Structure 1
């Protein structure tokens, strides 16, 4: 937990983040990230991948831990505009169901699926992670790329995800991680970033482990890959430098500053979790 309780915000459910994703969808599609609204992965300081290539690289790392194959059913919790789901379905032959609390995300994801001739293997629908519209044991695997940060009751969401997984199936989670308590200017940066991304708080290691355990999910791997993704914060600031949000946008002040996101990303307390769990 942070030492400053005001870093945390009371968000009743993941549905509250829908309008934010609608706004991000309007700006992210067609920029250097080409619809990928998540962090990228670089192997080393010498890795010269573009931001777009690095975000796809993170998706591929997730896919590699899903044991995906033709005939298997996978769940994408927080599918965004559908790019990761389409990439994984195309590469593995699996069927993917994606959910989001953004109607604009869903519309664009469906359009992308049609354009990619993958609508028969990928479907998208509006749904809350805490109340999934799927029967028990429906999926052979699931992933959540930067979804947990938006959910206030992570135990409830993980319990729902576990309910939809068949025994032994993997869940892969990647997300911004708060490694240790923050105070002073660092706490203010975290608070501003939480507010901008409508996050109740960024997940912390002990909290995630406890929530996974309570949900009946066994941790297989729990790694902090923060140094491999840290370049993204400046890259995103550069990618969106020419995008001017409307002045009445509640996130205007944060996103209109090219310094806010890189300042947050440079904090040593900010990491990035890549974890694999298994339904017991």
Structure 2
């Protein structure tokens, strides 16, 4: 299904990932942190942090540099953040809506099922997951629909883990995970019956670039379903408080530039899609908010099992994790820069909550777009 040979950049990325994370799959935050090559981790940390300045002194030139270096930005981010994501959230790196009394991982799966059903993914289809992370949604959708799912991801470490987890669930013949840039997809035109993306295409420097590639590899008549990260139409780029929230979302999540929902829809139309469904699922009047686990309020937990997920986000949980990691750094069991990673992830959580509470941000602007016959 893939075309061409592995580029020099991809070979370099794979070599860097192996040097940083090692060859073998480890499980658990401590085991993963202990296995890191400290010198290589320092390179990844410096590469990422040097791309950011305080929003009060940032210039358009600084922003343009990030947009032009988006592959390095996103790769550095996920080389640093993946282990913390799995530790705190599981293997599906996305948010979801909650019903009253609904357990966290059940809600996560339902969110994936909702996308699959509305994208009309069915058994025996060939489906592309754009920006697949470590493959949690790909595995769930493969189980749920019976489709064959190809996951595309530019981070070699995540591709390795996704392949490993799929084999553990005996999905090695129903899934495939490919390292590749979603702005230059390694697939022929008209390859896939359906395409989906879950909170991943926000990493693109421009929506038209990734949406155009999705349009190209999707078969005529096929559907593209997506949960997109966007600023809402209430966001004002010229409002310093709004811009600070957006900037902290960007630095905390490896995003070159946050964009509004209207820009998302216009980009779809610009590349040729017909938008057949659009809704902001974060603004549906739910009594249980999508961001409640990030608030760290144990009183809002839906079930006893959810306490563990939410506990890490409480003040005590954050303090404990940060100082635990600080001790690991000091005694050499975690590489230098791990505490910095923990800090920018906390910055991300705070900005996401603030953005949601002020109706400035949504992680689930949902749309289905069709490629004309």
* Cα offsets for 1:43-90 (capped at 9, x unmatched): 4xxx22233222222111111122222221000001011010011111
Q: Secondary structure at the match of 1:140?
A: strand
Q: Is the 8 A contact 1:51 1:232 kept in 2?
A: no
CA distance in 2, matches of 1:36, 1:237: 19
Whether 2:250 is the aligned partner of 1:194: answer: yes
Q: Secondary structure at the match of 2:224?
A: strand
1:269 to 346, 356, 360: 360
The CA deviation at 1:262 is 2.2
> Aligned pair count?
273
Could you say if the C-alpha distance between residues 167 and 29 of structure 1 is closer, same or farther in structure 2, counting changes exceeding 3 Å? same
Structure 1, unpaired ranges of 5+: none
Could you say if the C-alpha distance between residues 237 and 101 of structure 1 is closer, same or farther in structure 2, counting changes exceeding 3 Å? farther
The CA deviation at 1:214 is 1.8
* TM, length-normalised to structure 1: 0.88
Structure 2, unpaired ranges of 5+: 1-55, 297-308, 327-335
The CA deviation at 1:252 is 4.2
Q: Is the 8 A contact 1:174 1:275 kept in 2?
A: yes
CA distance in 2, matches of 1:208, 1:173: 11
CA distance in 2, matches of 1:13, 1:157: 15
CA distance in 2, matches of 1:277, 1:261: 26
CA distance in 1, matches of 2:281, 2:113: 15
CA distance in 2, matches of 1:42, 1:200: 29
Equivalence for 2:209: 156
Equivalence for 2:134: 81
Q: Secondary structure at the match of 2:291?
A: helix
Q: Secondary structure at the match of 1:163?
A: helix
Equivalence for 1:38: 94
Q: Is the 8 A contact 2:70 2:256 kept in 1?
A: no
Which structure dedicates a bigger proportion of its chain to helix?
Answer: 2
CA distance in 1, matches of 2:194, 2:120: 8
CA distance in 2, matches of 1:122, 1:251: 31
CA distance in 2, matches of 1:265, 1:142: 27
Equivalence for 1:22: 79
Following superposition of structure 1 onto structure 2, how do residues 88-237 of structure 1 map, counting pairs within 5 Å?
Answer: 88-180=141-233, 181-182=235-236, 183-227=239-283, 231-236=289-294
Q: Secondary structure at the match of 1:168?
A: strand
192-201 or 134-143, larger mean C-alpha shift: 192-201
Equivalence for 2:344: 254
The higher radius of gyration belongs to: 2
Q: Is the 8 A contact 1:148 1:203 kept in 2?
A: no
The CA deviation at 1:253 is 3.4
Q: Is the 8 A contact 1:36 1:52 kept in 2?
A: no
The CA deviation at 1:251 is 4.5
Q: Is the 8 A contact 1:76 1:96 kept in 2?
A: yes
The CA deviation at 1:206 is 2.2
